[in-house]
Chain A
């Protein structure tokens, strides 16, 4: 009997064992690195702004654009399920804005951001503000290639926000605790929220803000070293 050392042709019903070792999240992280390199090549600072629905991400971006126009040439990306409402709000302040419609996806990913980057003339930009989809969970899983990640939480989300969703804060460089004007009405202790963030992530810088009036936005800008 001759034994073949190498099976060249598969037999009927034969089972193949295939090592794939394909990491889907790692694939995103690699694309994020590419975005980061591209942005660095053109000397563009990029900030990924995350936070729950309605926490004040667009309001913060509007105030940042108002404060930083003149110092930086600013563009913005807005990840949105379908609409362009937020993009129009930001554009009014003079920042070129690209809406990235994510369709069913509840977060931006590095691939979508890479495509949107091709729509900008990076030579004409110094600062890119990226508003992620309103969601406190999945965006943290998908780095986009930004230099820094900011999270906007608001007191209207209640006192347990940080301890219930600690993981989004683990990757945050700066955290804005927003709607400080409503803290008393909500019975929320902002100092406690700030210390919750610090306990989970001692490196995160925390600012208390009112993104409607603009109070505290300077602290966010300083924390981002802009």
Chain B
């Protein structure tokens, strides 16, 4: 079970990364670029994208293209929440599981009895690219 989920999770990064690569190649084509020098991504911490898997997929997917050996910059963004009752804004909180003693994320507001909504941390953004043109 775990290995199945894990492999599916890699598949997830692979498919997201192939969309990223496709978008960048389209952009490069628009500008008649002969090489892509750098790609700058922003990935939210509340996405299911593992950075190692993204980097690995990127390497595999760009091989043999004008993106090969381009620099991949990944900026991460924290999960941001806002309480609909008291207006509290901050990171997604965690609560300890009393039985297994591990922190588990919660939508419970740390400030009042209300619940929070997620307002950030779900990004998978191609922020910018550096293209070498003729």
Binding site for B on A (CB under 8 A): 10, 12-26, 52-53, 104-107, 135-138, 140-141, 157, 160, 163, 166-167, 170, 192, 196, 199-203
Considering only CB atoms, which chain A residue lies closest to B18 in the complex?
A: A104
**Nearest CB in chain A: distance from B38 CB, A:** 9
Binding site for A on B (CB under 8 A): 1, 4-5, 8-9, 11-12, 15-16, 19-20, 23-24, 27, 31, 33, 37, 46-48, 95, 97, 99-100, 102, 104-108, 115, 118, 122-134
Q: Are B128 and A18 in contact (CB under 8 A)?
A: yes
Instruction: Tell me the complex Cα distance, A21–B16, Å.
Output: 16
Write out the residue numbers on chain B whose beta carbons fall within 8 Å of the beta carbon of A157: 1
Write out the residue numbers on chain A whose beta carbons fall within 8 Å of the beta carbon of B46: 167
Contact of A137 among B5, B108, B129 (CB under 8 A): B5
Question: Ordered nearest first, which 3 A-B pairs have the shortest CB separation?
Answer: A23-B125, A138-B12, A16-B131
Instruction: Tell me the complex Cα distance, A203–B110, Å.
Output: 15
Contact of A21 among B47, B108, B125 (CB under 8 A): B125
Q: Are A16 and B133 in contact (CB under 8 A)?
A: yes
Contact of A10 among B102, B106, B123, B134 (CB under 8 A): B134
Q: Are A20 and B118 in contact (CB under 8 A)?
A: no
Q: Are B130 and A16 in contact (CB under 8 A)?
A: yes
Q: Are A200 and B107 in contact (CB under 8 A)?
A: yes
A-B contact pairs, 17 of them (CB 8 A): A15-B133, A16-B31, A16-B133, A18-B131, A20-B126, A20-B128, A20-B129, A21-B125, A22-B23, A24-B19, A106-B12, A138-B8, A163-B102, A166-B105, A167-B48, A200-B107, A202-B108
Q: A18-B129, A23-B124, A170-B107 are in contact. Are A199 and B95 (CB under 8 A)?
A: yes
Q: Are A20 and B102 in contact (CB under 8 A)?
A: no
**Nearest CB in chain A: distance from B35 CB, A:** 9
**Nearest CB in chain A: distance from B96 CB, A:** 9
Instruction: Tell me the complex Cα distance, A107–B47, Å.
Output: 14
Considering only CB atoms, which chain B residue lies closest to A109 in the complex?
A: B15
**Nearest CB in chain B: distance from A143 CB, A:** 10
Q: A18-B27, A22-B125 are in contact. Are A107 and B12 (CB under 8 A)?
A: yes
Write out the residue numbers on chain A whose beta carbons fall within 8 Å of the beta carbon of B20: 24
Q: Are B122 and A167 in contact (CB under 8 A)?
A: no
Q: Are A141 and B48 in contact (CB under 8 A)?
A: yes
Q: A20-B23, A104-B11, A137-B5 are in contact. Are A200 and B131 (CB under 8 A)?
A: no
**Nearest CB in chain A: distance from B86 CB, A:** 15
Q: Are A25 and B122 in contact (CB under 8 A)?
A: yes
Considering only CB atoms, which chain A residue lies closest to B4 in the complex?
A: A53
Considering only CB atoms, which chain A residue lies closest to B19 in the complex?
A: A24
Q: Are A200 and B23 in contact (CB under 8 A)?
A: no
Instruction: Tell me the complex Cα distance, A107–B49, Å.
Output: 14
Considering only CB atoms, which chain B residue lies closest to A106 in the complex?
A: B8
Q: A20-B27, A163-B97 are in contact. Are A135 and B102 (CB under 8 A)?
A: no
Q: Are A14 and B97 in contact (CB under 8 A)?
A: no
Write out the residue numbers on chain B whose beta carbons fall within 8 Å of the beta carbon of A199: 95, 97, 104, 106, 108
Q: Are B132 and A13 in contact (CB under 8 A)?
A: yes
Write out the residue numbers on chain A whose beta carbons fall within 8 Å of the beta carbon of B126: 20-24
Q: Are B48 and A170 in contact (CB under 8 A)?
A: no
Instruction: Tell me the complex Cα distance, A12–B27, Å.
Output: 19
**Nearest CB in chain B: distance from A162 CB, A:** 8
Write out the residue numbers on chain A whose beta carbons fall within 8 Å of the beta carbon of B27: 18, 20
